[in-house]
A = this chain, B = another copy of it.
Amino acid sequence: MPDILLHDIVAALGGELHGDDNTRIDSLAPLDSAGPGALSFVSHPKYRQGLAICKASCVIVPPDLKDTALARGPCIVSDAPYLYFARLTQWWRKAMDAQRAPLGRQGGVHPTAVVDASAQVHPSATVGPLCVVERGARIGALSQLRARVTVGEDCKIGERCLLHSGVVIGADGFGFAPDGDRWEKIEQLGAVAIGDDVEIGANTCIDRGALQDTVIEDGVKLDNLIQVGHNVRIGRNTAIAGCAGIAGSAVIGPQCTIGGGAIVLGHLEIAAHVHISAGTLVSKSISKPGHYTGIFPLDDNASWERNAASLKQLHRLRERIKQLESDVKK
């Protein structure tokens, strides 16, 4: 159990502390379940009521919730409580780790990892147990490969990246030329180039390029079980949720978000600041920032069946409406 004082937190992370700085904190918790000993946060005035009744020992709040917070006990005022909380989780993680036996993530190559002699792993990088790093691959400073990660031949991982268990970087792109009925393999001669500060979720796959590299720019965040095809480019700070698929040669701009299970077809271009809803299939390029969706709305099955049957008649219904309009005008 960590033994931390509010004073320690504010000394490390800043923020304006109101209340007893010797208050002991033993956990971080969401507002609705935080009890005595917990430190919580609230970022939006719409949670004012929850804040007022929260039993946490301290709450991180924006300036306009300061009075509500103070009425219930200690608080830390910050212009960006959610960001403050994110940094607190990082600090907390380090504080907890310091009290435990080492985890073995402090740099170095685990003895069970298979790293080719020609691969370059920065001395500050960590290659976890049962990873494979192939010929000519490079792993940058402070990057971490958790357990069972594959980084294929000649692929490059930047600095401060985090690759979770089961990630596969640099499998062959899916490229075949038809030869009568059968398929002839197109060897995938490019690699994968991943920038700095990229996080890649468990069992996500990024294929090597056919002739040139697949490129993941700095700050990109990919969730679990995502497929990124060959020669894709994903722009700076774009975040993609789990189970999404990005087909070959798609170019996705910076600062985009793509929802879970969405599919982006190949050879499309998506502009910066585009947001795609979960479950949406992107079938054409998007040149304008904005929020885009294409989802069949959920319904009880019986209603869905009726509407789906009508949907298959929709073009004819449209023609019948046109005919009616013409009939009514006469």
Query: Which A residues lie at the B interface, using CB under 8 A?
Result: 27-30, 33, 80, 82-83, 85-87, 89-90, 92-93, 96, 100-101, 103-104, 110, 112, 114, 116-118, 128-130, 132, 134-136, 146-148, 150, 152-153, 162, 164-166, 168, 171-172, 174-179, 181-189, 197, 199, 201-203, 205, 207, 210-212, 219, 221, 223-225, 227, 229, 236-237, 239, 241-243, 245, 247, 254-255, 260-261, 263, 265, 277-284, 290-301, 303-315, 317-318, 320-321, 324-325, 327-328
Asked whether, in the complex, the Cβ of B164 is within 8 Å of the Cβ of A166, the reply is: no
A179 to B172 alpha-carbon distance, docked (Å): 35
Interface centre among A27, A181, A310 (most CB of B within 10 A): A310
Asked whether, in the complex, the Cβ of A281 is within 8 Å of the Cβ of B261, the reply is: yes
Instruction: Point out the residues of chain B lying under 8 angstroms from A165, CB to CB.
Output: 132, 150, 152, 168, 171
Known: A101-B118, A328-B327. A314 touches B321 (CB 8 A): no
Known: A146-B171, A174-B201, A184-B86. A311 touches B297 (CB 8 A): yes
A292 to B211 alpha-carbon distance, docked (Å): 31
Interface centre among A83, A101, A146, A307 (most CB of B within 10 A): A307
- New A-B contacts (8) at CB < 8 Å, excluding given A152-B165, A162-B185: A150-B202, A174-B242, A279-B281, A291-B300, A294-B298, A296-B311, A307-B311, A327-B328
Instruction: Point out the residues of chain B lying under 8 angstroms from A299, CB to CB.
Output: 292-294, 312
A136 to B102 alpha-carbon distance, docked (Å): 11
Asked whether, in the complex, the Cβ of A147 is within 8 Å of the Cβ of B146, the reply is: no
28 A-B contact pairs sorted by A residue (CB < 8 Å): A92-B189, A110-B114, A114-B130, A134-B147, A150-B166, A171-B201, A181-B236, A183-B219, A201-B207, A223-B227, A243-B263, A247-B260, A265-B278, A279-B281, A280-B296, A282-B298, A283-B295, A291-B301, A292-B300, A293-B298, A293-B299, A294-B304, A296-B296, A296-B311, A297-B308, A297-B309, A303-B312, A306-B315
CB distance from A83 to the nearest CB of B (A): 5
CB distance from A37 to the nearest CB of B (A): 13
Interface centre among A134, A239, A243, A324 (most CB of B within 10 A): A243
**Residue of B with least CB distance to A153:** B103
Instruction: Point out the residues of chain B lying under 8 angstroms from A292, CB to CB.
Output: 298-301, 304
Instruction: Point out the residues of chain B lying under 8 angstroms from A128, CB to CB.
Output: 132
A30 to B210 alpha-carbon distance, docked (Å): 9
A30 to B293 alpha-carbon distance, docked (Å): 33
Asked whether, in the complex, the Cβ of A201 is within 8 Å of the Cβ of B205, the reply is: yes
A173 to B205 alpha-carbon distance, docked (Å): 17
**Residue of B with least CB distance to A240:** B174
CB distance from A5 to the nearest CB of B (A): 19
